[in-house]
Structure 1
Amino acid sequence: MKPVLLDCTLRDGGNQNDWQFTPTDVRTIVSTLDAARVDVIEVGYRGGSGSANSATAGPTAHCTPEFLAALPPTRHAELAVMVVPTVCPVGAMDDLPDSPVSLVRIAAYPWNIDGVPEYVRAARSLGLRTTVNLMAVSYAGLPELAGIAETVRSELPDVMYVADSFGSLTPDGVRERIELLAGRLDCPIGIHAHNNLGLAAANALAAMDAGAGWLDASLCAMARGAGNLATEQAAAFLTAWPAYETHTDLPAVCEAAEYVAEQVLPRPMTVRRAEIAAGINDHHYYYQDRLEKAAARYGLDPWEVGRRIGAARPRKVLDEVLENVCREMSGGLPA
């Protein structure tokens, strides 16, 4: 088996540094990963992130035509951008055929997947390849996932991804979701694993065992919260494990990771209480700091508040959701 390795440092890693990658950062990361023969390099969002609205976001949060035109040429890697339909109009892709980008990743949640086929159709009409990235897949049970597969099949992308956005899935949960999609969709399946429970690598391996052929990763695991599967670790186990084939140059990938660790990351990625709590309670990491403060105001156990938040499966990180949960748990008033 020869998995496709996709690096998303410049896109998902922006959650750590507000997408403030310098031109040198972008040039070094893209050029080094290309020299390492990483298959796909995702260079950012077109039109912004759907979950982190920042007025100060740097260039990889929007991937303007000028930014894309300035990217270094690649000899091996395909370049990709992510589009979130809830914040990016379909017409915003129209100039991409004039850029180095050839792959558009269309990201949606289980509750707004219906809008995705229009974007797949539009991207295909522009001569672009597509992936559909189903975010928060832990919020989709198997019956719902079967319905999502039917929606996606109406305008089949080149690759169908599941994203464990909250880092809450275990290998068994990953395996059953990948098997369902692989059995219903006639296209490759991919996995985007977060590491809140320390299971990103184990979940990636379970996904491949169940039929996934595309792996997302980021250098030094750089991403929101506990981060992703690390690109250098993915390259390492693909190199070491006889069951897999890879043309990726592991020392060159490690060179890129060293650059990110020393020059880009504002702090080392960690898996501590906050990251684990978000994962075990199955909610967006961006809730965690607010959640702990709200729990303290109401004199509540933050772990129990987190469990209630996750059980509610909120569609957005909203303070009113926290307040409603805390009021219900405390009987109405702060402590």
Structure 2
Amino acid sequence: MKTLRLTDTTLRDGSHAMRHQFTRQQVRSIAQALDRAGVPVIEVTHGDGLGGASLQYGFSHTPELELIAEARSVCERARIAALLLPGIGTRKELKAAAERGVQVIRIATQCTEADISEQHFGLTKELGLEAVGFLMMAHMRPPEVLAEQARLMESYGADCVYIVDSAGALLPDGAYARVKALKEALTIQVGFHAHNNLGLAIGNTLAALEAGVDQIDGSLRGLGAGAGNAATEVIAAVLDKMGQNPGLNVFALMDAAEYIVAPIAPYQPLPDRDALTIGYAGVYSTFLLHARRAGELYHLDPRSILVELGRRQAVAGQEDWILDVALDLARRSQDKPVPQT
């Protein structure tokens, strides 16, 4: 039986929930606990990846390169990974991360924009690092389109390509079909990254496993954007009960989640009304605040704005659509005939 690989993203995706305020000591404690529990890969960066600390995405409490170095210094077995979104992170940040000890670069693009990642994969391989591709917002395109995009990443040098359910919008059959399509199209490994907006992070991860996935992601306590991620400690327990534990210490991960992450987490991610709306609409959680403001301006339920944005397949960088959508919805509501009594 092949060995499934888990990457823990507490120190990257969890950065969103922490408002990017992780301290050196927190990173050391979490990374050391994950390493001792047998987690093979630990991702450490700003929530929006290398170079993400900015006015637009939120400033970090501690520079991410220092956090990467702290994590690397306490890990005896685990490899350190970093996320890079072309256009936010550049070749400069990629090289700097490698100098601080990063061994895996995860290069993320919108699921139809793999072609913008070629130079980043090239540099990653030049530096002798493992290269992983991320196809974000994968619910927005059918499996065959994702397979085409994944083949591009493979041609650029990717060692693995992930289906990424950025909005937590996939159902298990959709997760299965997308992973299966990549498994049939590629000669490299396939990964799956889940979010829990519809309460299906673990279910979708199991569906990906059924489809033959090679790599999966989790975060302690589910700490992450929106309703959070598939919880690492839950994944470990479920895999163990299935007889497919790849070497994770279930009790140690439970303890890390309970005694290290829970005390510092500002809240417990869950599918509350806002997070559920994001998953139901299939849009980025960053749209939520803008939709609320537009809703107040035009006297609309912000959920209707988000659902319409999802119907139009809006992605990150298209926040300017929100006011246009709100205005369209407001005009439609005014044009409705008044019922006669």
Q: What TM-score, normalized to structure 2?
A: 0.90
Q: Is the 8 A contact 1:261 1:268 kept in 2?
A: no
Q: Is the 8 A contact 2:134 2:161 kept in 1?
A: yes
Over residues 57-76 of structure 1, what are the superposed CA-to-partner deviations in whole Å (9 max), with x where a residue is unaligned? Answer: 233xx522x44333333222
Distance 1:73 1:319 in 2: 40
Distance 2:280 2:146 in 1: 21
Q: How does 1:144-223 map to 2 (within 5 A)?
A: 144-223=145-224
The equivalent of 1:274 in structure 2 is 274
AA at the equivalent of 1:135: M
SS at match of 1:101: coil
SS at match of 2:233: helix
Deviation at 1:214, TM superposition (A): 0.8
1:108 equivalent in alignment to 2:109: yes
Deviation at 1:326, TM superposition (A): 1.4
SS at match of 2:113: helix
Deviation at 1:55, TM superposition (A): 4.7
Deviation at 1:39, TM superposition (A): 1.2
Q: How does 1:72-87 map to 2 (within 5 A)?
A: 72-87=73-88
The equivalent of 2:290 in structure 1 is 290
SS at match of 2:27: helix
Distance 1:216 1:49 in 2: 20
Q: Is the 8 A contact 2:44 2:80 kept in 1?
A: yes
Stretches of structure 2 that go unaligned for 5 or more consecutive residues are: 335-341
Selected match of 2:51 from 48, 52, 65 = 48
SS at match of 2:163: strand
Q: Is the 8 A contact 2:136 2:165 kept in 1?
A: yes
Distance 2:17 2:117 in 1: 27
SS at match of 1:41: strand
AA at the equivalent of 1:17: M
Q: 1:110 to 1:240 in 2, by over 3 A?
A: same
Q: Is the 8 A contact 1:131 1:158 kept in 2?
A: yes
Q: How does 1:57-96 map to 2 (within 5 A)?
A: 57-59=60-62, 63-64=64-65, 66-71=66-71, 72-96=73-97
The equivalent of 1:99 in structure 2 is 100
Q: What TM-score, normalized to structure 1?
A: 0.91
Q: 1:171 to 1:55 in 2, by over 3 A?
A: closer
Deviation at 1:145, TM superposition (A): 1.5
SS at match of 2:251: helix
State how many pairs are aligned: 331
Q: 1:101 to 1:154 in 2, by over 3 A?
A: same
Deviation at 1:92, TM superposition (A): 2.6
1:236 equivalent in alignment to 2:258: no
Stretches of structure 1 that go unaligned for 5 or more consecutive residues are: none
Distance 2:213 2:29 in 1: 29
The farther-off stretch of 49-58 and 278-287 is: 49-58
The equivalent of 2:307 in structure 1 is 307
Cα root mean square deviation, aligned: 2.3
Q: 1:212 to 1:101 in 2, by over 3 A?
A: same
Q: Is the 8 A contact 1:47 1:88 kept in 2?
A: yes
Distance 1:175 1:58 in 2: 38
The runs of 4+ residues in structure 1 deviating greater than 4 Å are none
Q: Is the 8 A contact 2:237 2:250 kept in 1?
A: yes
AA at the equivalent of 2:328: E
Q: 1:50 to 1:107 in 2, by over 3 A?
A: farther
SS at match of 1:70: helix
Q: Is the 8 A contact 1:156 1:187 kept in 2?
A: no
Q: Is the 8 A contact 1:50 1:86 kept in 2?
A: no
Deviation at 1:38, TM superposition (A): 0.6
SS at match of 1:68: helix
Q: Is the 8 A contact 1:41 1:80 kept in 2?
A: yes
